[in-house]
């Protein structure tokens, strides 16, 4: 018997013994049970009733609001406003700010939008104007709204940018 044949014989024997053991059988059955649980969880998500999970994390609240919107259910306005306000604070983490920007579709039609965005935009006006393309990649409509609100806050910056553009491409 050659070395190669011997290795094949050993591996084949090991594979046969594992396949016939109770542990191997249990390991093979576990993914099927896990799949069933995932399908049950997905089925429960498609039920018409909406369960509101209470948390203080604005990222979790905005993610939940997006799921409700996808299902066509209205999300509680006061909770949504509180989450957006918390996410758009100067001391908030960049992750929370990013979630608030990318979830703009959830709250863009709310009457309190300008009131909630204004403090963030005023505080970050120059940054928003300098990095408008980055914000647009996150959410184009949010970026347009933020630039519209930021431009009056930094008129010197806007005029300087216009003068620079005028020298590059005379009209």
Neighbouring CB atoms inside 10 A of 16's CB total: 10
Weakest-pLDDT range from 1-5, 103-107, 160-164: 1-5
pTM confidence score: 0.63
Do 68 and 75 touch, CB atoms closer than 8 A? yes
Radius of gyration of the chain (CA): 27
Model confidence pLDDT, tens digit, residues 15-61? 455 445 544 444 444 443 333 333 334 444 554 455 666 778 899 99
Q: Which two tokens stand for residue 116?
A: 């909630």
- For residue 10, pLDDT over 60 is answered with no
Neighbours of 90 (CB within 10 A): 9
Please return the burial class of 101, using the count of CB atoms within 10 Å of its CB with bins 0-12, 13-18 and 19+. Answer: buried
At residue 6, the pLDDT reads 57
| Average pLDDT of the residues in 101-116 | 96
Q: Indicate the domain borders of the chain.
A: 58-168
CB 116 within 8 A of CB 88: yes
């Amino acid at each position: 018997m050659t070395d190669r044949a011997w290795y094949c014989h050993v591996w084949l024997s090991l594979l046969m013994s594992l396949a016939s053991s109770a542990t191997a059988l249990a390991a093979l059955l576990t993914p099927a049970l896990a799949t069933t649980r995932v399908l049950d969880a997905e089925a429960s998500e498609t039920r018409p009733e909406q369960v509101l999970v209470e948390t203080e994390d604005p990222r979790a609240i905005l993610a939940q609001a997006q799921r409700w919107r996808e299902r066509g259910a209205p999300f509680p306005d006061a909770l949504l406003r509180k989450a957006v306000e918390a996410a758009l604070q100067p001391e908030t983490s960049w992750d929370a700010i990013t979630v608030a920007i990318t979830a703009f579709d959830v709250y863009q039609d709310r009457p309190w939008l300008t009131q909630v965005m204004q403090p963030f935009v005023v505080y970050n006006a120059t940054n928003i104007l300098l990095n408008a393309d980055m914000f647009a990649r996150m959410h184009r409509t949010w970026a347009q709204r933020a630039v519209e609100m930021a431009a009056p806050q930094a008129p010197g910056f806007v005029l300087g940018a216009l003068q620079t553009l005028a020298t590059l491409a005379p009209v």
